[in-house]
Structure 1
Amino acid sequence: MIEDTTAAGSRRGPPAHVVARIAATSWLILFLELALIRFLAGYVRVFAFYTNFVIIAAFLGMGTGLLRSRHAGRLRWTMPVLLVLLFGFTAYLAGAAIDVRTDGLEWLWGVDTGPAAGRHVPLSLTVVGLFALTAACFVPLGALLGAAMAPWRALPAYAADLGGSLVGVLSFTMMSAWSTPPVAWFATAAVVWLALVWPRRALVALSAAGFAVAIGITARLGSTHDEIWSPYYRITTEPQGLPGATTLNVNGALHQVMLDFSRGAESPRIADQKVGYERPYRFVSRLDTVLVVGAGTGNDLAILLGLGAKYIDAVEIDPVIARIGKASHPMHPYDDPRVHLVVTDARAFLRAPPRHYDVITFGTLDSQTLLGGMNSVRLDNYVYTQESFRAARAALHPDGSVVMYHLSGLWFIAARLFQNLEQAFGKPPRVLTADTDWLFSYTFVAGAGAQGAPAVAPGDPLRMQLRLSTDDWPFPYLRGRRLPTHYAAIIAMVLVLALGFVAAGGGRRALAAPDWPLFLIGAGFLLLETKSITTLSLLFGSTWTVNAAVIAAILAVALLAAISTDRGVMPPPALALGTLAVLLAASTIVRPAALTSVAPWMRWLVAGGYVGFPILAASYLFSRAYAAQRHPTAGLAYNILGAVAGGVLEYASMAFGLEALSWMALALYALAVWLLHRRDRRASFGAGAKPASLPASD
């Protein structure tokens, strides 16, 4: 049993071997969290739209484990069993159809939504089951972390925690860059776990067996198809059935079909698709310079080359999809010297295009994953906002046109795209509907190509009044500014589970007397982190490298604040809160779009302050409060459990927009500082904080 009765001021910093243990445990927590985000989304395709629940579950399990750190010795025996249960449930779901009963307020790509889908497992059981098992897996990890940190001075131990997390992010980023499969991820995690439980032979044997079973399940899941893991998806290819055609699936769902348009005489379906692809270009005056965003495996490029395009910039965010297209597309468009591939985000490219274009083509992006796994924004959402279409208009020659293909699963998606284009170009786009909805159902032509287009009647569904999508509310697949009922139901169940976990971890006392200031700071920081990722994604692209860099930078800033606070270099709480308030208010006035015209080095510099200084101020507020904790394990537990609340609050952006996250975070921090000040009016809140109580042992 870990006793934690040493006065805060008399503690020493952890020795080197303890620092290494804390860092290794934190590395494993962060690495496993990122690996599970990719793994679960890859094999349970509907879960790709709920990957932020993996982060929430990890926080919940980690916080619960910290509350039960006195029982780390017993809890670590549960890790192998829990891991096998999680992977077994994932394998079961991978072979089942998911019953997605939506209310028509959101469209989910590539999931079973209709009665004919032969559903077997309800969506709620899928998400909540994976959430509960994921959270349970992180309980023993949190307990081990708490056991290592408890006897030592709070901030040096916390700095070791942050350092390990930072290395965990960098490690998984490298493995993603190498397109390593899940077997490699979990084998790496197994080595670190075995090192943490060594030399207890029975536990090592049980752990080795548990990880072996989990890795075996992973290997079997990956053996059914030749898989390639890109930084975004689990990708498989298979013959389509049409002459020369190959299907590309992501996370088990159809994403693209590589077509040989030269074989239309052999297949009416190929001939029909070629007509559909070529049709919008009848309204374009010339194709001397063309930009294709969402170039994918190359269908749009093959069509444009066949129509005589002289120069094409092909932008594709996923390097593996582009590589597959280059190697496997039957018409080999990427080998043509007129095509110039750029692997980046569409918005990032449109921000500073190298030239003006006669035509900008938006391919069928149809993202089937979330941006960064920490929010409810999808990877392609920022491509379809009004600001994105205005950027496209600015990149056109005066007589240029935008051509956009889209598979709109619900009427309001097409209506929103139509109205966004109308707002950006000042006149309605030309609308072409496809005879089939195989690869796309609508094609829009905006700009010069819309001249003389037939007017859309006022009663047409495309004219129905909708909330248009912007960079602040980038949700083209939501019908309106409200939380869809399936999210509300799942969140309610998750909150009930969270209360159960906390009660099990700390007893009734943990629920009745939490450390509210640190809890609120945790919730606020999660919102700030989410807002930082979305802001920098707008400035530098929604790529996996940008997301990894932002998370690593946030951890580095928090580490800097912890080290400097421990050495007595810190701003007064009032100054930190005031700075945070001013910076967050400024961020709602000076939007990221205002920085797009400056030089790249200046944009990086300004963006660093734009996002980094609020994070630094918030980190100082946490470090001041945490440094005074007599029981840092309990304090850190409540802070991490606060992040669970912050993860749930993030869904409010669906109703109120992303800027609302800044104001919510500021309100949470202000309330936390007020509570800390009230805790001891005789001095600054850091000097006289009442210690958080450790929950009673069971």
Structure 2
Amino acid sequence: MQQEHEDTTTTATATTTVTGRRVLPEPGRRTRLVLASALMLFVELALIRWTSSNNLYLVHLTNFVLLASFLGIGLGFLRARAERDLFPWAPVGLAALVAFVLLFPVRTGTGRGGQWKLVGLFDLAPLPRPLSLAVVFVLTVVTLMAIAQEVARTFATFEPLEAYRLDVMGSLTGIVSFAALSFLRLPPLGWALLGAAAFVVLLGRRLALARRLPAVAIVAFVLMLGAESFMGSFQWSPYYKIHTADVAGGLVRVEVNNTPLQTALPVSVIKKNSQFYLYPYTYAGPHDDVLVIGAGTGNDVAVALDQGAKRVDAVEIDPALMQLGRDRHPDRPYSDPRVTTHVDDGRAFMERTDRHYDLILLALPDSATIVTGQSALRLENYLFTTQALTKARSLLKPGGTFAMYNYYEPWLLDRYANTVSTVYGTAPCVQRGPSYGPRQQAVLSLRKDASTGGCTTTWAPRTTALEPSVDDRPFPYLGSRTIPSFYLWMLGLVLLASVVAVRSVAGPLRTMRPYVDLFFMGAAFLLLETKNVVQFALLFGTTWAVNAAVFAGVLLSVLAAIEVARRVTIRRPVLLYGVLLAALALAWLVPQDALLSLSVVPRFLAGVTIAFLPIFVANLLFAVRFKGSGSSTVAFGANLLGAMVGGALEYLALILGFNALLIVVALLYGLALLTGRRHLVAART
């Protein structure tokens, strides 16, 4: 049986010799690895959430910080044996990143004619997008690399599977911790204090190194995030940084993630200055039972009550926005006994409810978008697919009306109108209001029987109407099946920078040559994880709780695979590739619509089986291979760098759709099989 070279690793705090497969870790080393891994994932999640709330360039680059994190973590693992200890510099890198984002924010301002534009601090011009993104990318890489080296040095003192097991336990701890802070709606100060405590425990005496700079950096990022948390009337929901400001007449204006959202207006003012809210009722039939999706602070609910609604179901995904409506809306619509509030994803609510309505309103549910939009998977995208509008139509009573309204650019209005027309078989009524730059207020409405209720201004495309969005490709803001050129440039530069960074920081790329198969496994697994997060978002809602549960489920599947690999000798691991291919084929063949038609419990069981079976098999395959790795840190680093490439391949969904990612996953595992054949032979012997 072919054996790979085993390393003798010296950590920053002690020396542990690995002889064969016997490992003698110091007391407390397990706890240290779990804590360091938890800190690593916690910082990654916090940066993904926090940077996009202050820098609007990142809103439409949903995995940009994730790519930087994977690169940093991979580099940290590849530097596990380096003499220089980077971990004391992790707080310094984090403090520098926090300072940069706060000093050079990118937010929405108002230009001439009321048109939105991007501005920086004090309404000055923001940094150019390439420069801003480059600095965020580099500082994220540096911070995560320093933390990951600490993880890797402890990681290397255990046999591979035990190290992997402890690392996953730490990652699970990090996810649970961040989910708990989201549930409690704690501001960044809460994140900072928890991260600072972990830094202090892990650094110990090393805080005194480098002229106490790490200690100063820890205090600095806690103070900066504390100042942001309590200055400027900010509050933090599980989704947004929310800013409130008092305006004339005792009203409150709300911004989310540095973008204007809504001003809570009394109906008397709406009737005078914002008649747009009344348009859906112009040609509607009865409206005793009303469903408002995107209820926000309550304007649409207040109008529905004023128009005579006897019952209103108000659905809002963000609990903080709904609470603002309870506390600050001048008409107090959420206190009316006719209103039932639901903190939920709009599409998920429609899939679960058994009620029927006279009027269903999609009430500005994507109003948090910004002026530079290309495409991104945002919270409300599943509301604008043909399947979603078909579901809404099925919930209408006879004679009931569907309406959706927002501030649309002409091409986007044509896309949505074409979607409505595709579902109902006829052109919808369109009522236009004032224009704000390239955007125009507009309402699209149609009755269940496909009549317009007397409206004579029906939609006609100004140019060739764009194809409707569907659940498999929920990108209404993408004009065609293509990857925008900016994304291609960004991904190309990121991957080029990654190659240079790996070569410069970790030495010759040939050191990872024995682990090329693990590289492909990392790329494939990231895509598989992405597909499952998206699938569960569709099945159960795009909420922070669902996402956290899916990631936790993935890690629990990984733990289960590790335990099987530790206890069972799989002499023919090549057979696992066949089982994995069958599991991927099952996920490919079962249409999502079939699962949506199931009740909640069967849908959950079917969704878990289809999603987590390939994840379990893929991780069992990885665990069997990783168990025999000679240098666990280099092997794990190669796998993480592969995951970064997988993150770049996610953008293929813009062209192919999410289900097609399963084909890419199968191809990548095929490459892993081809490049790792000798390890399969070794396992059999």
Return the TM-score normalized by structure 1.
0.89
1:37 to 2:48 alignment: yes
1:12 to 2:23 alignment: yes
**For 2:682 and 2:240, how far apart are their aligned partners in 1?**
46
Q: Which residue of 1 aligns with 2:340?
A: 340
Secondary structure of the equivalent of 2:365? coil
Q: CA deviation at 1:542?
A: 0.4
Instruction: State the AA in 2 paired with 1:202.
Output: A
**For 1:511 and 1:653, how far apart are their aligned partners in 2?**
32
Q: Which residue of 2 aligns with 1:695?
A: none
Q: CA deviation at 1:6?
A: 7.3
| C-alpha distance after superposition, 1:512-553 (max 9, x if no partner) | 836210000000000000000000001000000000000000
Q: Which residue of 2 aligns with 1:207?
A: 214
| C-alpha distance after superposition, 1:448-471 (max 9, x if no partner) | 46245437576x32x523232111
Q: CA deviation at 1:578?
A: 2.0
Secondary structure of the equivalent of 2:158? coil
1:174 to 2:176 alignment: no
**For 1:674 and 1:403, how far apart are their aligned partners in 2?**
53
| C-alpha distance after superposition, 1:413-472 (max 9, x if no partner) | 1111111111112222111111244997111102246245437576x32x5232321111
Secondary structure of the equivalent of 1:446? strand
**Worse-matched range after superposition: 215-224 or 125-134:** 215-224
Instruction: State the AA in 1 paired with 2:235.
Output: I
Question: CA 1:594 to 1:113, structure 2 compared with 1: closer, same or farther past 3 Å?
Answer: farther
**For 2:458 and 2:464, how far apart are their aligned partners in 1?**
11
Secondary structure of the equivalent of 1:400? strand
Q: CA deviation at 1:406?
A: 1.6
**For 1:291 and 1:72, how far apart are their aligned partners in 2?**
62
Query: Aligned match of 1:450 in 423, 444, 452?
Result: 452
**For 1:535 and 1:350, how far apart are their aligned partners in 2?**
16
Instruction: State the AA in 1 paired with 2:537.
Output: S
| Structure 1 residues 89-488: aligned runs within 5 Å | 89-94=100-105, 112=118, 119-203=125-209, 205-241=212-248, 243-263=249-269, 271-273=272-274, 275-366=275-366, 368=368, 376-408=376-408, 410-437=409-436, 441-448=441-448, 450-454=452-456, 456=458, 460-461=461-462, 464-488=464-488
**Worse-matched range after superposition: 8-17 or 79-88:** 8-17
**For 2:29 and 2:432, how far apart are their aligned partners in 1?**
64
Q: Which residue of 2 aligns with 1:54?
A: 65
Question: CA 1:26 to 1:20, structure 2 compared with 1: closer, same or farther past 3 Å?
Answer: same
Question: CA 1:453 to 1:123, structure 2 compared with 1: closer, same or farther past 3 Å?
Answer: same
Secondary structure of the equivalent of 1:432? strand
Contact in 2 for aligned 1:197/1:203 (Cα 8 Å): no
Q: Which runs of 5 or more structure 2 residues have no equivalent in the other structure?
A: 1-6, 11-15
Question: CA 1:240 to 1:644, structure 2 compared with 1: closer, same or farther past 3 Å?
Answer: same
Q: CA deviation at 1:189?
A: 0.5
Instruction: State the AA in 2 paired with 1:591.
Output: P
Instruction: State the AA in 2 paired with 1:450.
Output: T
**For 2:337 and 2:21, how far apart are their aligned partners in 1?**
70
1:69 to 2:75 alignment: no
Question: CA 1:509 to 1:590, structure 2 compared with 1: closer, same or farther past 3 Å?
Answer: closer
Instruction: State the AA in 2 paired with 1:192.
Output: A
Q: Which residue of 1 aligns with 2:35?
A: 24
Secondary structure of the equivalent of 1:121? coil
| C-alpha distance after superposition, 1:570-629 (max 9, x if no partner) | 584333222222222222332222122322111111111010101101111111111110
**For 2:483 and 2:281, how far apart are their aligned partners in 1?**
39
Q: Which residue of 1 aligns with 2:643?
A: 643
Contact in 1 for aligned 2:584/2:662 (Cα 8 Å): yes
| C-alpha distance after superposition, 1:306-352 (max 9, x if no partner) | 00000111111001101111111111100000000011101111112
Instruction: State the AA in 2 paired with 1:486.
Output: F
Return the TM-score normalized by structure 2.
0.91
Q: Which residue of 2 aligns with 1:567?
A: 567
Contact in 1 for aligned 2:292/2:300 (Cα 8 Å): yes
Q: Which runs of 5 or more structure 1 residues have no equivalent in the other structure?
A: 100-108, 265-269, 689-698
**Worse-matched range after superposition: 632-641 or 122-131:** 122-131
**Worse-matched range after superposition: 435-444 or 330-339:** 435-444
Contact in 1 for aligned 2:106/2:126 (Cα 8 Å): no
| Structure 1 residues 477-556: aligned runs within 5 Å | 477-510=477-510, 513=513, 515-556=515-556
Instruction: State the AA in 2 paired with 1:127.
Output: L
Contact in 2 for aligned 1:386/1:420 (Cα 8 Å): yes
Q: Which residue of 1 aligns with 2:674?
A: 674
Secondary structure of the equivalent of 1:401? strand
Instruction: State the AA in 1 paired with 2:504.
Output: A
Contact in 1 for aligned 2:108/2:260 (Cα 8 Å): no
Contact in 2 for aligned 1:387/1:470 (Cα 8 Å): yes
Question: CA 1:98 to 1:436, structure 2 compared with 1: closer, same or farther past 3 Å?
Answer: closer
Q: CA deviation at 1:170?
A: 0.5
Contact in 2 for aligned 1:368/1:378 (Cα 8 Å): no
**For 1:404 and 1:71, how far apart are their aligned partners in 2?**
58
| C-alpha distance after superposition, 1:87-110 (max 9, x if no partner) | 1211222278899xxxxxxxxx97
| C-alpha distance after superposition, 1:26-45 (max 9, x if no partner) | 10011111111121112223
The aligned length equals 660
Question: CA 1:40 to 1:262, structure 2 compared with 1: closer, same or farther past 3 Å?
Answer: same
Contact in 2 for aligned 1:502/1:510 (Cα 8 Å): no
Question: CA 1:17 to 1:457, structure 2 compared with 1: closer, same or farther past 3 Å?
Answer: closer
RMSD after superposition: 2.7
Secondary structure of the equivalent of 1:491? helix
Question: CA 1:292 to 1:201, structure 2 compared with 1: closer, same or farther past 3 Å?
Answer: closer
Question: CA 1:2 to 1:367, structure 2 compared with 1: closer, same or farther past 3 Å?
Answer: farther
Instruction: State the AA in 1 paired with 2:363.
Output: G
**For 2:119 and 2:682, how far apart are their aligned partners in 1?**
52
**Worse-matched range after superposition: 153-162 or 579-588:** 579-588
Q: Which residue of 1 aligns with 2:96?
A: 85
Instruction: State the AA in 1 paired with 2:336.
Output: D
**For 1:510 and 1:369, how far apart are their aligned partners in 2?**
45
Question: CA 1:663 to 1:287, structure 2 compared with 1: closer, same or farther past 3 Å?
Answer: same
Contact in 2 for aligned 1:49/1:368 (Cα 8 Å): no
Q: CA deviation at 1:161?
A: 0.1
Secondary structure of the equivalent of 1:441? strand
Instruction: State the AA in 2 paired with 1:566.
Output: R
Instruction: State the AA in 2 paired with 1:547.
Output: N
